[in-house]
Amino acid sequence: MQDMPKYIFNKETLTYEVYTHSGKGKVFRAVSLFCASVAMAFLYLWFYTSVLGCDLPKTAFLKKTNARLNSRLELLNRNLDADADYLASFQSRDNDVYRSVFGMNEIPEEVRNAGFGGVDRYAYLDAVDRTGLLRKTDSRLDVLTKKAYLQVNSFDEIESVAKKAGDMAACIPSVPPVIPDRNVYRLSSSFGYRSDPFSGNKKRHTGLDFACKVGNEVHATADGVVETVRTDAYGYGKYVIVNHGFGYKTRYAHLSQINVKVGDKVSRGSTIALSGNSGRSSGPHLHYEVMYKGSYVNPINYMDLGMSVTEYVQVAEKAAGKDGRDNPA
């Protein structure tokens, strides 16, 4: 149906004329209508978000998703707390029990707790992790992974040593280097600081001194291999070092005679030398040292000076049988 024409009164001619729309007027009205619509939309969004405090649908969805992910991260961190406690108990038992039993050095705390140096490993998270929770979780996972790796390696090391526990027991210097008869020797100097018999100055004594006559038999205190046979005229005099393995070495010094050579295998109780007064010595005695992993330790902590003479002789006889020599005791 054709639209009815519209009329407009012309004041000049005092007649009604047919009204015709101009193209510019149509465009202007369309633009005005669009601008008004946009303004109303922005006004609605402002009122909806600022006045009513509501989120846009997409924002609400993202916030809900973010809250759900944060909840998962918090749960993961609680699980990491429990795992860290379990690992700490393993570390404590590892140092205080397992490694101690087998004479192994503790793993220092600074090694267990060492972080990750160098470049910032987590810089890539800065743009997406405003709360820092993701960075914290990632860092904790890395640290726990490293600690767990160290702990697994420690247990592997302990397992390896445990399999050799029988051999290790024979290699720990656990008997005196001389027959434990108080009529034969006197403990003249202990381990630790003392007045030097020559200078009078306070000086660390790295072993035990067994005062005894020249020619008293000196026995290996554990199974091992002779590592050093040497003469130090201004120090230890004639001395022998036996390497027992597992970090243990022993030194027998100020000897008058040495009955072994480098490379000889000796057993606990084997006669390896005779006591003397060689080197820098203030009188006839045997100077005896125990070294563990390069450090001097107190020999008294390893031996039983109350051991019976009969038991000691049996150990020496057994060693003589292994060595293929007559009983020297």
The DSSP result for 76-138, as a single string, is: HHHHHHHHHHHHHHHHHHIIIIIHHHTTPPPPPHHHHT----SS-TTGGGTTT-SSSHHHHHH
- pLDDT for position 201: 81
Residue 290, pLDDT > 80, answer yes
Q: What is the pTM of this model?
A: 0.54
Q: Is residue 111 within 8 Å of 150, Cβ to Cβ?
A: yes
Report, as an integer, the average pLDDT of 314-320.
Answer: 90
176: CB partners within 8 A, 6+ apart: 210, 219, 221, 303, 304, 305, 307, 312
Q: Is the pLDDT of residue 132 over 60?
A: yes
- Please write the tens of the pLDDT for every residue from 235-259: 999 999 999 988 899 999 999 999 9
Percent of the chain with pLDDT over 70: 81
pLDDT at 288: 97
Identity at 13, one-letter amino acid code: T
**String of b and e for 28-60 (b: at least 16 CB within 10 Å)?**
eeeeeeeeeeeeeeeeeeeeeeeeeeeeeeeee
Q: Give yes or no for residue 328 having a pLDDT over 50.
A: no
Higher-confidence residue: 325 or 33?
33
**Does residue 52 have a pLDDT over 50?**
yes
Mean pLDDT on 103-120: 69
CA distances from 97 to 169, 264, 273 (A): 17, 35, 37
pLDDT at 194: 81
Q: Which of 270, 265, 269, 276 is nearest to 307 (CA)?
A: 269
Res. 118: pLDDT tops 70? no
